[in-house]
Amino acid sequence: MNQYKINELFETIQGEGSYTGQPSIFIRLQGCPVGCAWCDTKQTWEIEPSDEVSQNMMLAKVKETSQWAVMTVEQILVLVKEKGFQAKHIVITGGEPCMVDLMPLCQAFELQGYSTQVETSGTFDIRVSDQCWVTVSPKINMRGGYPILKSAMIRANEIKHPVATEQHVDDLKKLLTEHGIKNIPIYLQPISQKNRATELAIATCIANNWRLSVQVHKFLGIE
Ligand code: SF4
């Protein structure tokens, strides 16, 4: 596959996980069936043919919408140059980007000297290059009914888990134990920056020697 359905493409600072602070080019793909109640990108869920727009219309969006454009890998590379983006790190996100084969996209950027990262819920096979940094944010027992795949947990370079309740922490511990996951960074991310979620995340990180991810971009008011 050499083309992708793109909801957004922009340059910013990565605000989450190990790459926090890293200038990055975000490629947000359309489509996600996972159904997290607190999802902050619900506009990416459905792939409606009537929402397909031109590349220029997709890029001209001034607010979050469900509109998407098809772009080939070559068109994406050209666009990144034309826009004058300076970042050398690519973040492929969604939606659920692992619904599609991301290998061509990773390889094309890596050949040009970029590093790549994918952010996924862990519910689909992860088809990326060996060098790609994989952030699995396991979405456990969500409405869509997709289980977290063992292959995704094993491929993860880091786990980033949204938390608001003790149940979320317990679910994560169970998942890590089930799949024997050790020795990679575990980040807790308070859902919606709520005080109670943040307090729980801090206490749990200290108790388990995990790390806190606070979505820096939201505090900075950037995308
Ligand atoms: S997996 Fe991500 S994009 Fe999909 S519903 Fe959950 S938070 Fe939203």
Q: What is the percent of the chain where pLDDT is above 90? A: 90
Alpha-carbon distance of 195 to 111, in angstroms, equals: 43
Residue range 156-165: average pLDDT?
96
Alpha-carbon distance of 117 to 82, in angstroms, equals: 22
Mutate to test the pocket of ligand 1, among 8, 26, 29, 34 (most ligand atoms within 8 A of CB): 34
Single-letter amino acid code for the residue at 169? V
In short, whether 32's Cβ falls inside 6 Å of ligand 1 is yes
In short, whether 94's Cβ falls inside 6 Å of ligand 1 is yes
Among protein residues, the one whose CA lies closest to atom 6 of ligand 1: 36
pLDDT at 168: 95
Q: Tell which wins on pLDDT, 33 or 141.
A: 33
- Lowest mean per-residue pLDDT among 29-38, 94-103, 186-195: 186-195
Take residue 153 and report the two structure tokens written for it.
């947990």
Residue 193: pLDDT above 80? no
Residue range 19-29: average pLDDT?
97
Among protein residues, the one whose CA lies closest to atom 7 of ligand 1: 39
Residue 129: pLDDT above 70? yes
Single-letter amino acid code for the residue at 13? I
Confidence category of residue 1, pLDDT binned at 50, 70, 90 = low
In short, whether 139's Cβ falls inside 6 Å of ligand 1 is yes
Pick from 83, 80, 54: nearest CA to 67 = 54
Ligand 1: atom nearest CA of 33 is: 4
Give the strand order in the sheet containing 69-72.
Answer: 69-72, 3-13, 23-29, 89-93, 115-120, 133-136, 158-163, 186-190, 211-212
Contact 119, 39 (CB under 8 A): no
In short, whether 31's Cβ falls inside 6 Å of ligand 1 is no
Mutate to test the pocket of ligand 1, among 28, 36, 136 (most ligand atoms within 8 A of CB): 36
Ligand 1 centre and the CA of 43: distance in Å?
10
Alpha-carbon distance of 189 to 199, in angstroms, equals: 11
Q: Determine the longest span between alpha carbons in the chain, in angstroms.
A: 50
Residue 190: pLDDT above 70? yes
Among protein residues, the one whose CA lies closest to atom 2 of ligand 1: 95
Task: For residue 84, say if its preceding peptide bond is cis, omega within 30 degrees of 0.
Answer: no
In short, whether 121's Cβ falls inside 6 Å of ligand 1 is yes
Take residue 95 and report the two structure tokens written for it.
């939606």
